[in-house]
Amino acid sequence: MPAPPPRFHFLRRADVLAGLLFIAVAVIGLWASRHYPIGTTTRMGTGYVPRLLCWILLALGALIVVQGLRAGGFIELGRPIWRAMVFVPLSLLVFAFLIGPFGVVAATVALVLVGALAGRESRPLEVVAVAVLLVVLTLTIFVWGVGLPIPVWPEW
Amino acid sequence: MDFLANLALGFGVALTPANLGFALVGCLVGTLVGVLPGIGPVATVAMLLPLTFHLEPVSGLIMLAGIFYGAQYGGSTTAILVNMPGETSSVVTCIDGHQMARNGRAGAALTVAALGSFFAGTVATFMIALFSPPLAKVGQSFGAPEYFSLMVVGLIAAVVLAHGSIIKAVAMVLLGLLLGLVGTDGQTGGQRFTFGITILSDGIGFVPLAIGVFGLGEVIANLVHPQQRRDLVSSKISNLWLTKEEFKQAWPASVRGTLVGSILGVLPGGGATLSAFAGYVVEKKLARDPSRFGKGAIEGVAGPESANNAGAQASFIPMLTLGIPGNAVMALMIGALTIHGIQPGPQVMTERPALFWGMVASMWIGNLMLVIINLPMIGLWVQLLKVPYRQLYLAILLFSAIGVYTVNNNSFEVILTALFGVLGYVFIRLECEPAPLLLGFILGPLMEENLRRAMRISGGDPMIFLNRPISLGLLIAAALLLLVVALPFIRGKRDEVFQG
């Protein structure tokens, strides 16, 4: 016997969610551009094209939702999704905040340590080895090789 | 002859020791990253783009072209040895290439892929040299309405050739257009969708967008759905030579593939992937014994590999001459040109002939280098393939972060990349193809500008797009494209082709 569909399963369809995403973007766009001058067709203002695009996107989004509701199936969500979806972007954020004040070496190590949490099969010793290797590579390729003007060490 | 004089000028530029060096580095780095599974050519080029920013425009572009070809070659190597396409255009190479490898003919498969690609690259280079000047001349006669219609064709073609639902692909184009409009309106100076963030008034960078959506999105997807064990053919690749029999089967396939790729590559929306699929279908249809396909038929490697390289290279033609990207990689190239201070379009060839022809010549040189460096270095690439993904993705994350950061030495763009990465994964899960988004993003500001100009010429009358013959012709082509795909028969075929 197949497992019963999850609650709100009609919301868990790829097309429904995609349509809702497009609608959301369109609505935010329309809201954000509510004060933009539209101008006339001959002399288009700042808001003319963006608002036009948002309205079309809104219509398409609605169409996609309707299509999705008629189709079957739903997408699985599970623990590993959140792991990767949280720690992958987080590792970049950490890098972004550290590189200015602390330099690329510290930022690299932090990125690797945080990024390692995104995978399910990371091994602590290996992660440390990868971090060391990547620091060496970064320094040889980007700093000394290409000569990118990036801060290397903490500034104090 | 103009043609020869142009090529001579180009080789003069491309053959300077410095530029040869940059081409070599580009090819090597491109192959290195292209071999790594899970990073497609778009992400590869985007990630390595910053390496070229500090160079002269010519050298930067030469290196970039090298990176692009390297990524292509690297992709076929993984396809053959590990049965994992490094990129979508090598998907078909997996089918017979990997079977050949399992039959102990890995060396032959790699050689045929390399030589086939080189042959295709040579032909395509000549095609670029031959067809670019007349096309650029056509482009120069274009006014705003024609340009607008041309971009419509390009976007429609991208939609038609995207996987899955067409409406979703159109919505992705619109989303891309909107993202492209973020920032200061070039005409009125008004701020759009900046939400009070000062840095956004310069617009969203295309490097964060491309790396986030194409690179990080894939990384997240690979972590969530780990690939099945890689099926690495690790037996020593001893014999790189083809047997006489194999050579006889392979060369006609290579020629046919080149032809297919050269034609499909020029079309908007075309490029490497479509060409490779078409090349495979052609070979299977023409074969005397189609049942050999899927079991290691050498034509199944030679045809698509030649086709994808010819297609990849031919897609430079509309990009270089008209400034219209046919696919996502070309959209990146346009972004790269802009960063180097060059506005792509028909004027590039006349105003910067050394740059234009130097790049064309370096394409051929890059292809040659890849044959020379790739075959002997196969062993090294195989070693790379043994690196487990749990280590590899950390390097991808780091190089993405550094790549984005160094564009403007700006942390904000790294943060933006992280957000786009999440969005990229959401797109994958919701089955929204990201390539149309990138095209829309690059074309957004250009389209708006030309639309505004056209409307000013016509006094707000949209009929201007139908009154001018070239513009009308382009729009009819776009409408036909949409119509054709809507037909049930073609729809079925389209789905079949994408299923590979």
Give residue-wise pLDDT tens across range B2-30. 778 888 888 888 888 888 988 898 888 88
CA nearest to A30 within chain B: B193
Contacts of A21 in chain B (CB under 8 A): 426, 430
Tokens at B369, concatenated: 């280098």
Residue B398's pLDDT is 92
- Check B394 against A116: CB less than 8 A apart: yes
Least confident of A21-25, A97-101, B38-42: B38-42
CB atoms closer than 10 angstroms to residue A3: 5
State how far the Cα of B468 lies from the Cα of B288, in Å rounded to an integer: 49
Average pLDDT over residues A130-150: 84
Task: Determine whether B287 is exposed, middle or buried from the number of CB atoms within 10 Å of its CB (0-12, 13-18, 19+).
Answer: middle
Determine the angle formed by the axes of helices B41-48 and B389-408, rounding to 10 degrees: 50
Residues A94 and A110: beta-carbon distance below 8 Å: yes
> How far is CA B456 from each of CA A131, B144, B345, B463, rounded to the nearest angstrom?
57, 10, 22, 13
- pLDDT over 70 (residue B494): no
Q: Is the confidence at residue A51, as pLDDT, over 90? A: yes
Chain A contact probe: residue of B49, B152, B214, B223 with most A CBs at under 10 A: B223
Higher-pLDDT residue of B178 and B387 is: B178
Q: Report d(CA B218, CA A88) in Å as an integer.
A: 11
A112 to chain B: which residues are within 8 Å by CB? 394, 397-398
Residue B269: pLDDT over 70: no
Q: Name the burial class of residue B134, with classes exposed (0-12), middle (13-18) and buried (19+) by CB atoms within 10 angstroms of its CB.
A: exposed
Mean pLDDT of B216-242: 72
Q: Nearest-CA distance from A104 to chain B in Å?
A: 9
Tokens of A5: 């569909």
Query: Taking a C-beta distance cutoff of 8 angstroms, is the pair B279, B293 a contact?
Result: no
**Mean pLDDT for the stretch of residues B96-102:** 83
**Which B residues in the span 52-71 are in contact with A, Cβ-Cβ below 8 Å?**
54
Nearest to B114, CA basis, from B295, B266, B241: B241
Contact A64 B425 (CB under 8 A): no
Q: Which residue in chain A is spatially nearest to B411 when comparing CA positions?
A: A96
Q: What DSSP letter does each residue of B15-42 carry, written as one string?
A: TSHHHHHHHHHHHHHHHHHHHSTT--HH
Residues 6+ apart with CB under 8 A from A48: A38, A39, A41
Which has more pLDDT, B55 or B239? B55
Q: Which two tokens stand for residue B451?
A: 């639309």
CA distance A41 to chain B (A): 5
- Sorted by sequence, the CB contacts under 8 Å of residue B74 that are 6+ apart come out as B30, B31, B32, B33, B34, B35, B36, B86, B381
Asked whether residue B491 carries a pLDDT value surpassing 60, the answer given is no
Determine what percent of chain B is predicted with pLDDT higher than 70. Answer: 92
Mean per-residue pLDDT of chain B: 83
* Residues listed for chain B: 500
| Chain B neighbors of A64, CB-CB under 8 A | 165, 167-168, 171
**Residue B97, CA distances (Å) to B111, B233, B303, B469 in order:** 11, 11, 11, 47
Any CB–CB contact under 8 A between B419 and chain A? yes
Report whether B214 contacts B420 (CB < 8 A). no
Report the residue from A42, A81, A121 with minimal CB separation from B456.
A42
In whole angstroms, give the CA distance from residue B446 to residue B126.
30
Is residue B105 pLDDT above 60, yes or no? Answer: yes
Per-residue pLDDT averaged across A47-51, rounded? 90
CB contact under 8 A, B390 and A67: no
Q: What is the DSSP string of B137-200?
A: HHHHT--HHHHHHHHHHHHHHHHHHSSS-HHHHHHHHHHHHHHHH-EE-TTT--EES-TT-GGG
3-state SS assignment for residue B130: helix
Say whether residue A67 is in contact with chain B using an 8 A CB cutoff.
Answer: yes
Residue A143 sits at the chain B interface (C-beta within 8 Å): no
Among B416, B353, B465, which Cα is nearest to B212's? Answer: B416
Render pLDDT for B405-446 as a digit per residue (tens, 0 to 9): 888 888 999 999 999 999 999 998 888 888 889 889 988 888
Q: What is the pLDDT of residue B337?
A: 84
Cα(B32)–Cα(B240) distance, integer angstroms: 20
Tell me the per-residue pLDDT of A67-77, one tens digit each, with 9 for 90 and over: 888 876 666 66
Would you place residue B52 in the very low, low, confident or very high pLDDT band (cuts 50, 70, 90)? confident
Report the DSSP beta bridge partners of residue B183.
B192
DSSP A47: T
Helix (H), strand (E) counts: chain B: 25, 2
A-B Cβ pairs (cutoff 8 Å, strict)? 194
Confidence at B86, pLDDT banded by 50, 70, 90: low
- The answer, for B493 touching chain A at a CB cutoff of 8 Å, is no
Q: Average pLDDT in the A92-99 region?
A: 94
Rg (CA), chain A: 24
Question: How far, CA to CA in Å, does B53 sit from each of B96, B210, B347?
Answer: 39, 16, 22
Per-residue pLDDT reduced to its tens digit, A22-32:
999 999 999 98
Q: Do B190 and A37 touch (CB under 8 A)?
A: yes
Averaged over B389-418, what is the pLDDT? 89
Whether the CB of A73 is below 8 Å from some CB of chain B: the reply is no
**Chain B contacts of A54, Cβ < 8 Å?**
178
- Please say whether the beta carbons of B192 and A54 come within 8 A: no
In order of B83, B103, B253, the CA distances from B284 in angstroms are 20, 20, 10
Which positions in chain B touch A17 (Cβ < 8 Å)? Answer: 430
**Statement: residue B108 has pLDDT above 80:** yes
Amino acid at B260: V
Q: How far is B220 from A84, CA to CA, in rounded Å? A: 6
CB contacts of A120 in chain B (<8 Å) are 223, 226
Residue B238 and residue B213 in contact, taking contact as beta carbons nearer than 8 Å: no
What's the pLDDT at A60?
94
Instruction: Give per-residue pLDDT as tens, B142-165.
Output: 888 998 998 888 888 878 777 678
DSSP reduced 3-state for B55:
coil
B288–chain A nearest CA distance, Å: 42
d(CA A108, CA B414): 13
Q: Chain B within 8 Å of A88 (Cβ-Cβ)? A: yes
Region B189-197: mean pLDDT is 85
Report whether pLDDT(A1) > 50: no
ipTM tops the 0.85 cut: yes
Residue with tokens 């004040």: A101
Among the ranges B107-116, B176-185, B480-489, which has the highest mean pLDDT value?
Answer: B176-185
A27 CB within 8 Å of a chain B CB: no
pLDDT at residue number B500: 40
Distance CA B400, CA B450 (A): 34
Q: Which of B343, B357, B363 is nearest to B442 (CA)?
A: B343
Q: Who has greater pLDDT, B180 or B245? A: B180
Contacts of A81 in chain B (CB under 8 A): 224
Asked if A128 reaches chain B (Cβ–Cβ under 8 Å), the answer is no
Residue B105 DSSP class:
I
In order of A32, A49, B183, B199, B369, the CA distances from B196 in angstroms are: 11, 20, 10, 9, 49
Which tokens belong to B462?
Answer: 């949209």
- Does position B497 have pLDDT exceeding 60, yes or no? no
Question: Confidence band (pLDDT; 50, 70, 90) for B230?
Answer: low
> What mean pLDDT is predicted for residues B348-367?
86
Whether residues A49 and B181 touch (CB distance < 8 A) is answered with: yes
Phi/psi at B259 (nearest 5 deg)?
-60, -50
> Does the beta-carbon distance from A40 to B188 stay under 8 Å?
no
Q: What gap in Å lies between CA B155 and CA B269, rounded to an integer?
A: 8
First to last CA, chain A: 66
> Quick one: closest CA in A to B173, which residue?
A57
* CA atoms of B424 and B32, how far apart (whole Å): 24
SS3 state of residue B123 = helix
Of the candidate ranges A100-114, B118-132, B227-241, B369-383, the one whose mean pLDDT is the lowest = B227-241
